[in-house]
Chains A and B, each alone.
Chain A
Amino acid sequence: MASQEMEQLVRRDYKEGFVTDIESDTVPPGLDESTIAFISNKKGEPEWMLEWRLKAYHQWLKMTPPSWAHLDYPAIDYQAISYYSAPKRPEDRPQSLDEVDPKLLETYEKLGIPLHERAALAGVAVDAVFDSVSVATTFKEKLHEAGVIFCSISEAIREYPELVKQYLGTVVPQGDNYFAALNSAVFTDGSFVFVPEGVTCPMELSTYFRINAANTGQFERTLIICESRAQVSYLEGCTAPMRDENQLHAAVVELVALEDAYIKYSTVQNWYPGDEDGKGGIYNFVTKRGDCRGDRSRISWTQVETGSAITWKYPSCVLRGRDSIGEFYSVAVTNGRQQADTGTKMIHIGEGTRSYIVSKGISAGRANQSYRGLVKVGPRAKNARNFTQCDSLLIGDRCGAHTFPYQEIGNSSATVEHEATTSKIGEDQLFYCQSRGISEEDAVSMIVNGFCKDVFQELPMEFAVEAEALLNVTLEGAVG
């Protein structure tokens, strides 16, 4: 197919592009100690939390943004961002869905996420984050019966301060990196999950994020703890309305798995990628890390990334416990002018630790994508094993795919395997499908979904279906 034709087909409109006009209680742009105090006060936080934030802020002031990623974007003016935005009447937080602003529900409808149905049908508890403040939490009682705590991080700081104090920042320290430090200083919301010893969380936990107020960065902080023999599956899904300005998003997610615990964290992300010229898309700088603290613990990251103008994201596992397992399954799609530098880090510390990495990158249009993965095996990690498979699929001839695998092997008993492929969606494959009567678009989606199958099958079933649909929307017309 001719490249002009391809270019035309790759263009698409952002289906989730709309804005809900709920009045926001927003602080003026800018960041200093008083902004942080305002946030902390607004959240009704205890003194220690404010101190924790300020410590992070002072570290951040001394840091510089990372420049090693294969990304190209203008410098961000952190004083031009407003760091707090909440829906009107924050004191009147709705107690049930019936009390939720109908406009918000309408927004979810447009996204195809009818909360009622979703929650009821899928048995999913939803902690919906809208403009930094949780406005709807369901199934709390059922979770309560099981002893599972699932609430916003702000609520956790107020209600379970000891737990938060014990774990917050122990996986991603305040000064871990530039964006994590910023997040630690100004985070406004996010989820908190605590699954006590021996409990398997009775349902999938799910949070939907939306970035809604203009010019407001969103700084989520999520903390998930599984005690010994506890299990949880958590899904995070995101979409955002159309914007003219780049929106900064710098989230931090910390996972802690104690002995024999299993945390499965799945992400489906569909933020606004910007227009044809890359204008207006979300900047996504995320730090996600799981700590397999206990023996035989397991942490599994699965992500389907289709949005954002810039993605900088490396969900990682620190395999401390003996025989602990870290997994990373990723599908990243970049189209138009999107840029993504994403991958994972597997840090093998304990003996007999294992890690699996399956990364599928799809590039279309003029997008650029890099896989960056580190496998580090420490001197005490005897018999550690890693398997990495890293495949890239190119659609058209103006996109790029790059692979940067790093290996630091500190002992000779480790086994590390790396497989990588780059392929182009073949005209032959397309012709083959089309000559069976299948339309070009359906053929592309079939081929792409086939390419991603290894990852999709790691997603909880209903989300796998959703992810497939999302991929189809994302690559609508992106034919090569």
Chain B
Amino acid sequence: MLEVKDLHVTVEGSEILKGLSLTVNAGEVHAIMGPNGAGKSTLSAVIAGKDGYEVTAGSITFEGRDVLEMEIEERAQAGLLLGFQYPVEIPGVKNIYLLKAALNAQRAARGEGEIPAPEFMKLIKEKVAFMKMDTSFLQRAVNEGFSGGEKKRNEILQMLVLQPRLAMLDEIDSGLDIDAMRVVADGVNSLRAEDRGILLVTHYQRLLDFVVPDKVHVLVDGRIVKSGDAGLARELEARGYEWLLEETAA
């Protein structure tokens, strides 16, 4: 589904990713872990198409398409969706309006018409209830005045509504208390499907107690230095990243 090959990325002249390779197949949940500054967020940002990242070598393909040749919105329309670590506020734009615009933009790209209003309302109410959010959320401006936990839930809500092919979640667990973590994890687990890939970027193992990944990759200094199953995450939790850094250096 997603194929990242020998990816080199520089930001403002310094190389952040130094030959990263990763394959995510449909039906799999991958977790990218690593110490701060290893390039975790850079990876998801580059895949989503954020400005300011220069790909100097390597490739990213998604279902056979060259992702680096696609516009930001085309990537989303193709089903590559990024959940933000720090979702931005958009004053005056209602949450429900953004959701509807996003959903309709994706439908349009698929050659489908706009979603009928009753259908949309039904869908959205169901998803909002699932995320244990109050419907008043929908009428508030996008992320404006949301608490950290509310922002993260809102990101998952968007995923549930937009139903991406590959969901990338960047530090979706940061700043969550345990209850919010459960709700967010339930949301992510509900996204698990045979035809969908999930890429979790996280610093801590905590989330992975709730969302058990199929594969865990450790990203250190711009490269994946170790891959394994969920057990690797637990090992990292117990031992930290130090031993890996030493192992890599050796």
Choose one: B48, B71, B88; the contact of A429 (CB below 8 Å): B88
Q: Most chain-B Cβ atoms within 10 A of its Cβ — which of A428, A436, A446, A449?
A: A436
A433, A451, A453 interface centre (most CB from chain B within 10 Å):
A433
Closest chain A residue to B91, Cβ basis: A450
| Bound: A450/B144 CA distance, A | 12
Which residues of A408-461 are within 8 A (CB) of B? 426-429, 431-440, 442, 446-447, 449-454
CB distance from A479 to the nearest CB of B (A): 12
> Is A438's CB under 8 angstroms from B91's CB?
no
B72/A449 in contact, CB under 8 A: no
Set B51, B93, B141: member contacting A1, Cβ < 8 A: B51
Contacts of B101 in A (CB 8 A): 433, 436, 438, 442, 446
Q: How large is the interface on B (under 10, 10 to 19, 20 to 34, 35 or more residues)?
A: 20 to 34
Across-interface contacts of B46 in A (CB, < 8 A): none
Bound-complex Cα distance A431 to B76 (A): 11
B50 at the interface (CB under 8 A from A): yes
Binds A, one of B9-17, B102-110, B199-207: B102-110
In the complex, what residues of B have CB within 8 A of residue A451's CB? 91-92
**Nearest chain A CB to B66's CB is how many angstroms away?**
18
Chain B residues lying within 8 Å of A429, measured Cβ to Cβ, are 88, 90
| Bound complex: CA A438 to CA B98 (Å) | 9
Contacts of A446 in B (CB 8 A): 90, 93, 97-98, 101
Is A436 a contact of B158 with CB atoms below 8 Å?
A: yes
| Chain A CB within 8 A of B82 CB | yes
Partner of B76, one of A437, A449, A452, A454: A437
Residues of chain A at interface, number, CB under 8 A = 24
Question: Which residues 33-54 of B have a CB within 8 angstroms of A?
Answer: 48-51
Shortest Cβ distance from A2 into B: residue: B51
B102–A427 contact, CB under 8 A? Answer: no
Determine whether the beta carbon of A431 is less than 8 Å from that of B72.
yes
| Cβ contacts under 8 Å, B141 to chain A | 450
**Is there contact, CB below 8 Å, between B88 and A432?**
yes
A442/B97 in contact, CB under 8 A: no
B93 and A436 contact, CB distance less than 8 A: no
A429 to B84 Cα, complex, angstroms:
12
Determine whether B81 belongs to the interface, using a CB cutoff of 8 Å to chain A: yes
Q: Is B73's CB within 8 Å of the partner chain A? A: yes
A1 to B101, CA, bound (A): 23
Known contacts: A429-B90, A432-B84, A432-B88. The answer to whether A440 contacts B73 by CB under 8 A is yes
Residues of the A chain whose Cβ atoms lie less than 8 Å from the Cβ of B109: 437
What residue in chain A is nearest B161 (Cβ atoms)?
A436
- Verify if B7 is at the interface (C-beta below 8 Å from A): no
Question: Does B87 belong to the interface (CB within 8 Å)?
Answer: yes
Q: Which residue of B lies closest to A452 (CB)?
A: B92
Residues of B contacting A453 in the complex (Cβ-Cβ under 8 angstroms): 92-93
Interchain CB contact under 8 A, B90 and A435: no
Q: A434 contacts B93, CB within 8 Å?
A: no
**B88 partner residues in chain A, CB cutoff 8 A:** 426, 428-429, 432
B74 closest partner in A (C-beta):
A437
- In angstroms, Cα B25 to Cα A352, docked, is 69
Contacts of A454 in B (CB 8 A): 92
Q: A436-B98, A437-B76, A437-B105 are in contact. Are A431 and B90 (CB under 8 A)?
A: no
Q: Could you say which residues of chain B place their CB within 8 Å of the CB of A433?
A: 90, 98, 101-102
Q: Mark A63-91, 1 if CB is under 8 A from B, else 0.
A: 00000000000000000000000000000
Q: Verify if B162 is at the interface (C-beta below 8 Å from A).
A: yes
Contact present for B81 and A436 (CB under 8 Å): yes
17 residue pairs from A and B, CB less than 8 Å apart: A431-B51, A432-B87, A433-B90, A433-B101, A434-B71, A434-B73, A435-B49, A435-B82, A436-B73, A436-B76, A436-B105, A437-B76, A438-B101, A439-B73, A449-B92, A453-B92, A453-B93
Residues of B within 8 A of A (CB): 48-51, 71-73, 75-77, 81-82, 84, 87-88, 90-93, 97-98, 101-102, 105-106, 109, 141, 158, 162
Closest 8 pairs (CB-CB, A-B): A450-B92, A450-B93, A437-B76, A436-B102, A453-B92, A434-B72, A437-B105, A437-B106
